[in-house]
Amino acid sequence: MIEPLRVLKPAWVPAGILLATALLVWLGRPLPASLAGLRTAGPWALLACAAGLAWWFNRGRALVVGASILFGFTVFLNYSPKAVYTAIAVLVPLNALAAMLRPEQGARHGAALPWLVLLAAEAGFLWFILKNPQLHSVVDHWLLRSPPLPLAGRLVFAAAFAAAVWRAWPEFPPAQVANAGALAAFYVAMEWGAAPGAHAAFIAAAGVILLAGVLHESHRLAFRDQLTGLPGRRALEERLRSLGSSYVIAMADVDHFKSFNDTHGHDIGDQVLRLVAGRLAEVGGGGTAYRYGGEEFSVIFAGMTAEQAKPHLEAVRRAIEDYRMAVRGEDRPKQSKEGEKRRGEAAAAKALSVTVSIGYAAPSAGGEPPAQVLKAADQALYRAKQGGRNRVSA
């Protein structure tokens, strides 16, 4: 139960924003007269900021979703024919669906230009509808209108939302989760198209969700190591600044990693780093693992003594030593039966093991700064290497 909750953690923010918006709409408290302009300016500003940040941080899909909702909201505010509402309800999720089906190409260096051309073409299409009232009934009929949201809009939205969830699976990156959340907010907003306050509230929620997702994603990329999924060096430095007076810092290094890398190749070396990172991430005692750089990792135990931390370090060292890693070669067969046969024949040859050396240190009564304790842990790691590797040393 804990693992699904951890994996779905990025979805908590969009879900919370949607629930808070629904609560505000249910309470139904109108804005003061002096703030009435926020009903239109607020959602517009939030979506514009979300689209701008998506462009700045090179998140192509978030830019398409934000710009499309902003486009639809702007048109809906200024033009009242039902055919315009119907067209927006279909075009916005259709744009999102197209973005989800295409590979992520970013937003900068000209990648956003085709989408801007598409929005301009859709604006021309809506202008054509507005200038030809006789087309309104045709649009409503052709798009299978079923108030308040056209059936075609519901179908396209369902496809776009499913594609957004598919793109988020299985790692659920915050920006991609935000795309799905923003689409959900847009859907509710269009269902409440006849209620200006509720419509504006959920459009604003879409902007907030996109903003939070893009910012969260940017923070994740800056502070988390891409290869191993562990917090990176920058996150470690931030953590060191916030440590109290009682803590333990450990440094771990993969034994003989260079020769291992040279023998088996960099792809297998990356598998080894992910294996070690996965075991270190499960260290007991409330320890937090970080990738320090290369084949080195750090573990911090806050509020612990060296004696308390050592058993947990020994346990994780043994877990890494006892694990047998199955190497998947480039000639791996596509047929499962053939693969099982080969694995049975070459299991011993293809199973590799790896060990780590660990050094740890804690501040003395003098209260050295964390940087000095980290250096002491690195020296302890050197002693573990000198002592024969595959051991824990203080």
Residues labelled catalytic: 295
The pair phi, psi for residue 302, each rounded to 5°, is: -85, 140
- DSSP β-bridge partners for residue 296: 253, 293
254: left (phi over 0), alpha (psi -120 to 50) or beta: beta
Which DSSP state fits 388?
T
State how far the Cα of 205 lies from the Cα of 184, in Å rounded to an integer. 10
DSSP 112-133: THHHHHHHHHHHHHHHHHHH-G
Judged on CB neighbours under 10 Å (0-12, 13-18, 19+), 356 is buried
Closest CA to 276 of 316, 334, 328, 315: 316
- Residue 357's nearest CA partner among 255, 257, 269, 274 is 255
CB atoms within 10 A of CB 380: 22
Tokens 């959340």 locate to 181
Neighbouring CB atoms inside 10 A of 173's CB total 17
Alpha helices by DSSP H, listed for the chain, are 2-7, 12-27, 38-56, 60-78, 82-101, 113-131, 136-142, 151-168, 174-191, 196-223, 233-241, 257-264, 266-281, 306-322, 336-350, 370-386
Cα–Cα–Cα angle for 6, 7, 13, nearest 5°?
80
Question: Both tokens of residue 327?
Answer: 């190497």
Inter-axis angle of helices 266-281 and 306-322, nearest 10 = 140
